[in-house]
Every structure is written in structure tokens, then in C-alpha cells.
Amino acid sequence: MTNQVATPLYNKLSAAFESRNAADLTPLREAAFAKFKAKGFPSVKEEDWRFTSLVPYLDVDFSVTAEAAGDAGIQQAVDAAAIEGLEAYRLVVVNGRIHSGLSVLPEPDEMHIGPLQEVINTDAFRAHFEAEDHTGGNSFTQLNTAFFTDGVYIEVPKNVSIEKPVHIIHVNTASVPTLFHPRQVIVVNRSAGAVFLETSVSLHPKQAMFFNNVLQVIVKENGECTHYRIQDNAPGERWVHHTQVTQHRTSRYSNYTFSLPGADLIRNNLELKLDGTATESHLYGLYLAAGNQLTDNHTAIEHIHPACQSTEHYKGVLLDNARAVFNGKVFVQREAQQTNAYQQNNNLLISDKATVYAKPQLEIFADDVKCSHGCTIGQFNNESLFYLQSRGIGEESARKLLVEAFMFDVTDKIEHEPIREHLQELIHQKMTAAMAAGA
Amino acid sequence: MLVIKDLHASIDGKEILKGINLTVNAGEVHAIMGPNGSGKSSLASVLAGRENYEVTGGEVWLDGKNVLDMKPEERAREGVFLAFQYPVEIPGVSNINFLKTALGEIRQHHGLPPLSAKEFLAMTREKQKLVEFDAKLANRSLNEGFSGGEKKRNEVFQLAMLQPKLSILDETDSGLDIDALRIVSNGVNKLRSKDNAFVLITHYQRLLDYIVPDVVHVLYNGRIVRSGTKELALELEDKGYDWLKEELRVSESIQ
Ligand SMILES: Nc1ncnc2c1ncn2[C@@H]1O[C@H](COP(=O)(O)OP(=O)(O)O)[C@@H](O)[C@H]1O
Ligand SMILES: [Mg+2]
């Protein structure tokens, strides 16, 4: 236990781990917990956590065991989570467990959906899972591996392409501050295609909650996966999201991460391993941060083989005392000739008390590549503001219009129109609320 | 309609407007000419309420209301419109949504309900025709990638849509070819009425062949140094500004 700050939490975690039933204590979990214990939670001494001190976010007497969920309130929460105009399947996950009763799922031959716990020890799963698992190096993922319950396993069979998005609604029912470890694995097999949208909802918002979520996505040869995540969370919530994607040759993966004001802390680790030639990846992010929120996006794209293409565009708007971190790593290994990697990060500071730390980080070891990156931090353009006002548009509406305009080149990339409209509406609402609170 | 009395304004502590007096009545067109740097755009900016100018003295009244007390958007809602010399590009704000928002806020100010989608569309079509503004441009992002001429025409399109009382056109004719100039001028002439007024800031007498002004003013070094009929514009075209500067220098040294 090297990190003194959260000692009571460590003790609680150790006790909880030891008291698990024997069937749960697989070698995988034991090894993971041992690693976690050796290193502890990350501290600001680690480069990747330099600007994000976890101390204030972990300093809560969290429960470390999930309570059993009753059904009260879940139905309404799930209905409210539906996105207007979006025809989608619905996968309801309550405290990390699939809720079949409320889910509306594709046929099993179109998509296998079940508890991860059920398959994790089968040879078939391990044959490709363990080989694809690169989560070992990170304290949070180790902790997740040690503790996740049930989990979600989704597999799209080869050659099956499902147009209709699967909306995964994560419902959290905890009524006391809890440290949670949800886990999901998605496998899109050869020449298969699927679209996922993740949102989450808490039945008891405004209490301290810590989510340590891990998602692994594997897109096999020539497969295609589009993945949206809307982080519209409640105050008090702290989220550490580890999303790890492995792409095989000629596969396509698009990630859209939208972080809105609400949660106290959002830390997203999005790691792409391009494990085959001629893959295509798109990472789009929007972060709108307000209040005392801290939103931290760490992305890493590893180009290993030739002719892979990655584009990344993250845009942030910061209000009030909000802080944001953007760290975009792109590695291009020696073998990865004809890589095409483009990265862009733009930030708009609306308040002079807001802060952003932005760091593009390109490490290129191949010579025949096209890589570019750009990073801007700016404020409102007063000329634009004056122009809008000079046409009769009030200052507040003008500011909102300019924020929406700033985000436009990312929102415009959303292929599913109802999702785009939903997001634009959310941005509008959050801006209005933040400005009203700030005024 | 517009009464400006002894208006002084400075920027970064440097006085730019040094006592402007100007009265514009409903139904009139005034031209303001003058060499570069004399303060024409500054006057337009101060009237529209640009923040970086500090008004250090004087008054501005629009139909009995104190303009200098109003925020830029309030001035616009009261009927002041500035066609900018250099319109900004705002990527991501659609031209047409922007106009819908602006028109909505102006109408609300006057206690009018918003136009229905159909009414708005009909109005857009009509005004586009007036200034021969390409419908494709109307649906693009505000001025983004527009040519100089397209931007100027968009200013006049907005003017037509918002139907202000007082329109100030800051060198809207500069950089227009003769066809565009004719289109823009025709548009303005059609929009003229006994209830509105225009202030045309221009460098070139050419514009005044198309839009005939009631009064021509010469602004020099922060003051209106001469006012007259449209013949004054012709005289300036012939002789340039040097004779005026010379005359002023002489009269100042006499004082
Ligand atoms: N933003 C500014 N900062 C400092 N000086 C300015 C600024 N804008 C204009 N000026 C000065 O004000 C004077 C008048 O400029 P302007 O109003 O643009 O003249 P005109 O439109 O007649 O050419 C010039 O001396 C110009 O340099
Ligand atoms: Mg000028």
C-alpha cells in the first residue's frame, strides 16, 4: 500500500477481496489484485496523472460491495434514457448486470449478449480474450479485473451487420456512496458490423459515486464498429473510463465521446491498438465542462502495421472553474509505413477561471508517414460576438450560438441524426444552465 | 430620426472622433466620404455599439431614444443596422438560422410573434431575389468562404431581411464589380422608403450614380468638415481631398 491517502479504502478493498466466494477468486483476479496492491491508485507523480489528482475524489468512505438492486424506479429511468427519434435496441445493465426484463435485444444469432462471468473461463473465450487483453498495466483496470461482477459480453457473429444501434443504458441504483467496477467486452467478428451507444443514469444522483469502468472492444478483420458514449452524469459522480480497442486488419472503428457538465470528475482513457494493416479509426470528442468539474481525456493510438489511418478531433469548451486535460498520444512504429495520422484539439475558454492542459504527443519511428497535429486554446472571438449582437441577437444567445458553432465540426460528424440532435439539445440545455448559474 | 451632437470617441486613449454633428431625417440618404483613416468606420462602429470605442462626449438619439445607453443588440432591435466594411466569417453558424434568430429577437422586442416557418421561407425567397443572393449561400455557414462580393451582398441581404430604420453601409461598394454594384444599389433603392434612412460611407463617387444622396458629408480627421449636395461628391472625385486638406490647414492656422 504505497499510497497513504486512501488507506482506509485499501483496507476495505483488501477485506472485500478476501471475503469473496471461492468460485470468484480466479487466478486472473488474484493476479490483478496483487498488482493493484503493489502499486496503489495512480498519483500525480505519474506522467499520465500529472494534472489529475485523485485524492479529493477518492477521499470518501465508499462502499466497495454493490448492493442488490430492487426494480423500483428502473423502468422510468430506462424510459427517460431513450433518445427521441432513435430506433435502437436496448440493453439495460443495472449495477453491472444485464437486466433482461427491460432489455430489447437483437436475435441471438445476430448478436450474442450475456454475462461476461459466464464466458470468461471458457477455453474459447480465453483463446482470444487473453491474447487481446492489454489492460494489465494500469491500476484501475487491475482493480476492475479483481472486482467486476457479472459484466457484459457482446459478440457479433461474422458477416452479420446490424444497422440498428444497440443503446446500452447503464443504471446505477446505489443509495450510498459506492466504488463500482463495471466491465464490458465487445467482439465484432470478421466482416461484421454494429453500432453501440452508451449512456448512464443514477437513481440516487448527487451522492459521491466512483465508477471504475473498463470496456474492451475487439474489431476483427474487416469488421466495423461505431461507438458513441454520452457522459451526461450527475453531480457527485466520478468516472474513470478505460476503453481499450484492438483493431485487426482492414477493420474500422469510430469512437465518439461526449462529456457534459455534471460529474465531478471524468477521466477517459481511450487506447487503440491497430493490430493489422489498413485499418481506419476515427476518434471524435467533445467536452463541455462547468462548475468545478475536471474532465480529462487521455487517448493513445498505436500504429504498428503499414497503411493504417487514424483521425482524431477533440474539442472542449470550459466554463466557470472547470478544468480540462487533453493528452493525445500517437505512436507510429517502425513497420508502420504509409501511416496517415491526423490529430486536432481545440479549446474554448469561456471563463477566465477555467483551465486547460493540452498535450499532443506524437512519437514517430517510421519515415514514410503523413502525420499532423494541431492544438489551440482560445477565447470568444469578440468580433463574432459583436457581429451577432449587431443583428439584434442578445449577448447570451450569441454566446450559445458561438459555442454550438465551435463544436459544430465535431457534432457534424455524428452519423445518426437523432443522436446528433439529442446532443445538440443537451449542449444547449447545459450551456443555458451553466450561464444562468454563472450570472 | 438620427441626431448626433458633438460626439467624441477614442480608442486606446487616442481620440478618433472629435466632435461629430449630424442629423439624418426619415426618408433621407446621406453619404459620408473622406480619406482613409479619417474616422468613418469608427463613427459607424460607435453608432452600432462596438465595445472597444470609448465615447468621451456628446449624444446620439434615434427617434428620441438615447442610443449610447443601449447594448449593441438593443440598438439593432431599435432599428440600427450596420453593413460591415469587413464582415466576419463564423463557421458553424448557419446563415439562415442566424437570421431566423435575429429576426425573432427583433420581432419579440416589438411585441410581435415569431414568423411561421412558411412565412420566414417566403420572406427569405423574396429578399434573396432582391439582392440576387444565391440560395446556396444562404444555407451555408455565415460568410464562411464567401468571396468579398458575396460577403457584401450578404450584408445587404440581411439588411433586407431585418428591415431596419437606419442603415449604415460602410464601404459596401468597395471591391464590387460593376454588376454587383448595380445589384446592391438596386436593392438599396428598392428598400428606401419615407420611413427609413441610409448613411452610405463610401470612397467612390461611382456608388452615388446609382444611389442618389440627399446630402454629402466629408469627414476628415474626426470631424465633418464640409456638407453639401451630391455635387460635392463630384467635386471630390475631380479634385481629390488635397485641396480640402489644404484649405483646412490654412483655416486652422488662421484661427
Ligand atoms: N482598433 C483600433 N485601434 C487603434 N486605432 C484604431 C483602431 N481602429 C481604427 N483606429 C484608428 O482610428 C482612425 C480612424 O480609422 P477608421 O475609422 O477605420 O477610418 P476610415 O474608416 O475613415 O478609413 C485611424 O487613425 C485608425 O488607425
Ligand atoms: Mg473604414
The pLDDT tens digits for A259-301 are 999 999 999 999 999 999 999 999 999 999 999 999 999 999 9
- A122: pLDDT confidence band, cut at 50, 70 and 90? confident
Which of B7, B8, B12, B16 gets mutated to test ligand 1 (max ligand atoms within 8 A of its CB)? B16
Grid coordinates of A69:
438492486
How far lies A183's CA from each of A244, A248, A255, B26, B83, in Å?
12, 22, 18, 72, 58
Q: Is the pLDDT of residue A395 over 70?
A: yes
Closest CA–CA distance from residue A262 to any residue of chain B (Å): 25
Q: Is the pLDDT of residue A125 over 90?
A: no
Mean pLDDT over A192-213 rounds to 96
Q: In 3D, which of B211, B168, B181, B226 has the Cα closest to residue B42?
A: B168
Does the beta carbon of B91 lie under 8 angstroms from any beta carbon of chain A? yes
Grid coordinates of B220:
476628415
Q: Is the pLDDT of residue A439 over 60?
A: no
Q: Tell me the ligand closest to B20's alpha carbon.
A: 1
CB–CB of B92 and A382 under 8 A?
A: no
How far lies A311's CA from each of A285, A340, B124, in Å?
11, 8, 38
Task: Say what the pLDDT of residue B134 is.
Answer: 84
Report chain B residues whose CB lies below 8 A from the CB of A398.
Answer: 73
**Buried-exposed string A32-43: b where 16+ CB fall within 10 A, e elsewhere:** bbebbbebbbbb
Task: Say what the pLDDT of residue B111 is.
Answer: 97
Q: Is the pLDDT of residue A18 over 60?
A: yes
Task: Say what the pLDDT of residue B160 is.
Answer: 96
CB B155 within 8 A of CB B84: yes
Residue by residue, what is the 3-state secondary structure of B146-174?
CCHHHHHHHHHHHHHHHCCCEEEEECCCC
Q: How far apart are CA B225 and CA B213, in angstroms?
A: 18
CB–CB of A392 and B102 under 8 A?
A: yes
Spell out which chain A residues touch chain B, with contact meaning CB-CB distance below 8 angstroms.
381-384, 386-395, 397-398, 401-402, 404-409
Contacts of A269 (CB under 8 A, 6+ apart): A138, A240, A241, A242, A243, A244, A298, A299, A300
B37: CA distance to ligand 1 center in Å? 6
ipTM: 0.95
Q: How far apart are CA B117 and CA B126, in angstroms?
A: 14
**Buried-exposed string B146-161: b where 16+ CB fall within 10 A, e elsewhere:** beebbbbbbbbbbbbb
Q: In 3D, which of B45, B49, B121, B116 has the Cα closest to residue B83?
A: B45
Instruction: Quick: pLDDT tens for B93-127.
Output: 999 999 999 999 999 999 999 999 999 999 999 99
Higher-pLDDT residue of A367 and B251 is A367
Neighbours of B64 (CB within 10 A): 7
B33: CA distance to ligand 2 center in Å? 10
SS3 B37: coil
Strand partners, B15: B10
Q: Is the pLDDT of residue A22 over 90?
A: no
**Buried-exposed string A70-81: b where 16+ CB fall within 10 A, e elsewhere:** eeeebeebbeeb
**Mean pLDDT score of chain B:** 93
Q: How far apart are CA B113 and CA B111, in angstroms?
A: 7
Q: How far apart are CA B199 and CA B191, in angstroms?
A: 13
Strand partners, A323: A294, A355
Task: Say what the pLDDT of residue B220 is.
Answer: 93
Mean pLDDT over B74-96 rounds to 95
In this structure, which residue's CA is closest to atom 27 in ligand 1? B37
CB–CB of A390 and B82 under 8 A?
A: yes
Closest CA–CA distance from residue B243 to any residue of chain A (Å): 37
Does the beta carbon of B72 lie under 8 angstroms from any beta carbon of chain A? yes
Q: Which CATH architecture has domain B2-254?
A: 3-Layer(aba) Sandwich (3.40)
Q: In 3D, which of B41, B72, B67, B79 has the Cα closest to residue B171?
A: B41
Is the distance from the beta carbon of residue B45 to the nearest atom of ligand 1 less than 6 Å?
Answer: no
Q: In 3D, which of A238, A162, A160, A228 has the Cα closest to residue A196?
A: A228
Nearest by CB to A393, which of B81, B88, B105? B105
Q: Tell me the ligand closest to B221's alpha carbon.
A: 1
Grid coordinates of A372:
499532423
CB A204 within 8 A of CB A237: no
- DSSP annotation of B89 reads P
Backbone angles phi, psi at A412, to 5 degrees: -65, -20
Backbone angles phi, psi at B91, to 5 degrees: -60, 140
Return the amino acid letter for A326.
F
Mean pLDDT over A143-168 rounds to 94
CB–CB of A389 and B92 under 8 A?
A: no
In this structure, which residue's CA is closest to atom 4 in ligand 1? B11
Percent of chain B beyond pLDDT 70? 98
Mean pLDDT over A80-103 rounds to 96
Task: Say what the pLDDT of residue A136 is.
Answer: 61
Task: Say what the pLDDT of residue A363 is.
Answer: 96
CB–CB of B102 and A395 under 8 A?
A: no
- DSSP annotation of B221 reads T
Q: How far apart are CA B70 and CA B78, in angstroms?
A: 9
Q: How far apart are CA A287 and CA A403, in angstroms?
A: 12
Report chain A residues whose CB lies below 8 A from the CB of B98.
Answer: 388, 391, 393, 401
**Do β-strands A209-219 and A179-180 pair in parallel, antiparallel, or remain unpaired?**
parallel
Report chain B residues whose CB lies below 8 A from the CB of A405.
Answer: 90-93, 141
Residue by residue, what is the 3-state secondary structure of chain A?
CCCCCCHHHHHHHHHHHHCCCHHHCCHHHHHHHHHHHHHCCCCCCCHHHCCCCCHHHHCCCCECCCCCCCCCCHHHHHHHHCCCCCCCEEEEEECCEECHHHCECCCCCCCEEEEHHHHCCCHHHHHHHHHHCCHHHCHHHHHHHHHCCCCEEEEECCCCECCCCEEEEEEECCCCCEEECCEEEEEECCCCEEEEEEEEEECCCCCCEEEEEEEEEEECCCCEEEEEEEECCCCCEEEEEEEEEEECCCCEEEEEEEECCCCCEEEEEEEEEECCCCCEEEEEEEEEECCCCEEEEEEEEEECCCCCEEEEEEEEEECCCCEEEEEEEEEECCCCCCEEEEEEEEEEECCCCCEEEEEEEEEECCCCEEEEEEEEEEECCHHHHHHHHCCCCCHHHHHHHHHHHHHHHHHCCCCCHHHHHHHHHHHHHHHHHHHHHHC
- A135: pLDDT confidence band, cut at 50, 70 and 90? low
Mean pLDDT over A373-384 rounds to 93
CB–CB of A392 and B51 under 8 A?
A: no
CB–CB of A389 and B105 under 8 A?
A: no
Percent of chain A beyond pLDDT 70? 95
Q: Is the pLDDT of residue B11 over 70?
A: yes
Element (H, E) at B236: helix B230-239
Instruction: Quick: pLDDT tens for A252-265.
Output: 999 999 999 999 99
- A1: pLDDT confidence band, cut at 50, 70 and 90? very low
Is the distance from the beta carbon of residue B223 to the nearest atom of ligand 1 less than 6 Å?
Answer: no
pTM strictly above 0.95: no
- B137: pLDDT confidence band, cut at 50, 70 and 90? confident
User: Which residue is associated with the grid cell 457584401?
Assistant: B152
Strand partners, A346: A315, A376
Report chain A residues whose CB lies below 8 A from the CB of B90.
Answer: 384, 387-388, 402, 405
CB–CB of A387 and B109 under 8 A?
A: no
User: Which residue is associated with the grid cell 457534424?
Assistant: A412
User: Which residue is associated with the grid cell 466495423?
Assistant: A224
CB–CB of A408 and B92 under 8 A?
A: yes
Report chain B residues whose CB lies below 8 A from the CB of A390.
Answer: 48-49, 72-73, 75-76, 81-82, 84
Does the beta carbon of B59 lie under 8 angstroms from any beta carbon of chain A? no
Q: Which atom of ligand 1 is nearest to the CA of B38?
A: 22
Q: Is the pLDDT of residue A4 over 80?
A: no
SS3 B143: coil
